[in-house]
């Protein structure tokens, strides 16, 4: 099969990419054989991974609805991947039809396909930028326009900061974003954690070492510290299924098996 027309020239399709592997876990079609092969290896090590990814996506939808209900109509989704399967703009507009979204990703394939999907959506824009170069990200016209009018913005860092190494200092990156936000803004964050299934953390991180996006799983204290300057919404930083579940009975006896931790905070 030839290269799809929306894949940028020069893209190496023989190397797995985190955004496309995530798409595969969600049951999507925007991935290639290298991504599927890596996903299959990961699932062999950790059979719960597709369920964890679906749980993470469900958290994203619940969190977007919650901040939209608080009146926020502007969303900056960093590390957005490909906006399918209950994308932010769809969920937000179910509450606030005027919602604007800027999707940001570093993967040129995810960016190209996102632009194709959203080409007829005047309230959604797509930016190719890297969170590790946060000042450059904030300087992009699409992002400055979103922030400049002084209305609260929800920054979404959903399943992205575990792809930021300690050397790249995720706490500093979040603090730079925080300081650029208007009053009343929100931080929506989820992060792969060493808690819940510590037996799986090491092998899973080792697998991602072979990709351009190595994985750094962190504990609850370090993830909670990323919310410095924000007031956490109850119940704080919890396992993915525990954050405002649509059906409390559906959390199950072992929410820690979903491994990821998540929370939402509003700027003080």
Query: Greater confidence, 116 or 157?
Result: 157
Going along the chain from its start, the domains and CATH numbers come out as 18-267 (3.40.50.150)
Residue 246, SS3 per DSSP? coil
- Residue range 227-238, pLDDT digits in tens: 999 999 999 999
Name which of 177, 166, 95, 194 is nearest 136 in CA terms: 177
CA distance 179 to 237: 21
User: Cα separation of 205 and 194, whole Å?
Assistant: 10
More confident residue, 229 or 52: 229
pLDDT of res. 173: 98
**pTM for the full model?**
0.87
The predicted model gives 79-97 an average pLDDT of 90
pLDDT for residue 253: 63
């Amino acid at each position: 099969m030839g290269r799809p027309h929306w894949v940028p020239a020069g893209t190496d399709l023989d190397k797995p990419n985190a955004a496309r592997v995530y798409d595969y876990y969600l049951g999507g079609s925007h991935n290639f054989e290298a991504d599927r092969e890596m996903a299959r290896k990961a699932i062999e090590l950790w059979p719960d991974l597709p369920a964890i990814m679906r749980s993470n996506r469900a958290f994203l939808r619940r969190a977007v609805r919650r901040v939209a209900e608080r009146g926020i109509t502007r969303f900056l989704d960093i590390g957005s991947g490909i906006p399918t399967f209950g994308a932010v703009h769809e969920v937000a507009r179910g509450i606030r039809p005027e919602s604007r979204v800027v999707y940001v990703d570093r993967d040129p394939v995810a960016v190209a396909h996102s632009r194709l999907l959203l080409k007829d959506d005047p309230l959604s824009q797509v930016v190719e930028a890297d969170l590790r170069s946060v000042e450059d990200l904030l300087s992009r016209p699409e992002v400055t326009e979103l922030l400049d009018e002084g209305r609260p913005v929800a920054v979404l860092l959903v399943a992205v900061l575990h792809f930021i190494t300690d050397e790249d200092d995720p706490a500093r990156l979040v603090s730079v974003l925080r300081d650029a936000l208007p009053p009343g803004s929100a931080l929506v964050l989820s992060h792969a954690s060493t808690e819940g299934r510590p037996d799986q953390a090491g092998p899973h991180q080792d697998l991602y070492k072979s990709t351009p996006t190595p994985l750094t799983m962190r504990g609850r204290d370090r993830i909670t510290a990323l919310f410095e300057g924000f007031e956490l919404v109850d119940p704080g930083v919890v396992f993915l299924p525990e954050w405002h579940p649509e059906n409390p009975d559906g959390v199950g006896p072992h929410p820690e098996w979903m491994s990821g931790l998540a929370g939402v905070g509003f700027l003080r």
